[in-house]
Amino acid sequence: MGNPMKIRAAVKDGVTEVKILMQHEMETGLRKDADGTLVPAWFITEVKAQYQGRTVLETQFGQSISKNPYLLFRFKGGAAGEKITVSWVDNKGDTRSDEVTIAA
């Protein structure tokens, strides 16, 4: 299982803003290490956010995303005190899922 994410979410005027900081190496697979051997690709391929069982964000990630990626998105709706679940999957099949309560 991957390392925990840091997620913050707040609702304002009926729009919920979600900020996600993920911990991941995000190796491109194109980089060589000091000995000249290729560092195998290792990156997040999908990120999904769910609110009350409904998918509010679904994205595909690739090699061009930086290490420890930061993602911000907004969606209509959402209520303070309710929960949002964010999860990612990487190309090795590893996953991580974290939950956050929406702040007012």
Partner 1 sequence: MNNSNVIKLIPLLVLATSCAATAAESEISDSDRIAQYREMISDGNPADFDEMRGEALWKTVAGPKQASLEKCDLGKGAGVVKGVYTELPRYFKDTGKVQDLESRLLTCMTTLQGIPEEEIAAKPFASEKKASDISSLATYVVGQSKGIKMAVSTKHPQAKEAYEIGKRIFNYRAGPYDFACSTCHATSNVRIRMQDLPNLNVRKDAQAAYANWPAYRVSQGLTRSFQWRLNDCFRQQRFPEPKFASEATVALTMFLAVSANGGEYAGPGLKR
Q: What is the DSSP string of the chain?
A: --PPPEEEEEEETTEEEEEEE-----B-S--B-TTSPBPPPB-EEEEEEEETTEEEEEEE--TTSPSS-EEEEEEE---TT-EEEEEEEETTS-EEEEEEEPB-
CB of 100 to partner 1, least distance (A): 14
CB of 42 to partner 1, least distance (A): 13
Q: Indicate the residue among 20 and 92 with the shorter CB distance to partner 1.
A: 20
Name the phi and psi angles at 28, rounded to 5: -75, -25
Q: Indicate the residue among 72 and 103 with the shorter CB distance to partner 1.
A: 72
Q: Indicate the residue among 71 and 84 with the shorter CB distance to partner 1.
A: 71
Q: Is 102 in the site for partner 1 (CB under 8 A)?
A: no
Footprint of partner 1 on residues 37-66 (CB under 8 A)? Answer: 54-62, 64-66
Footprint of partner 1 on residues 8-27 (CB under 8 A)? Answer: 19-21, 23
Question: How far is residue 89 CA from its own chain's centroid?
Answer: 9
Which residues form the interface with partner 1 (CB under 8 A)? 3, 6, 19-21, 23, 54-62, 64-73, 75
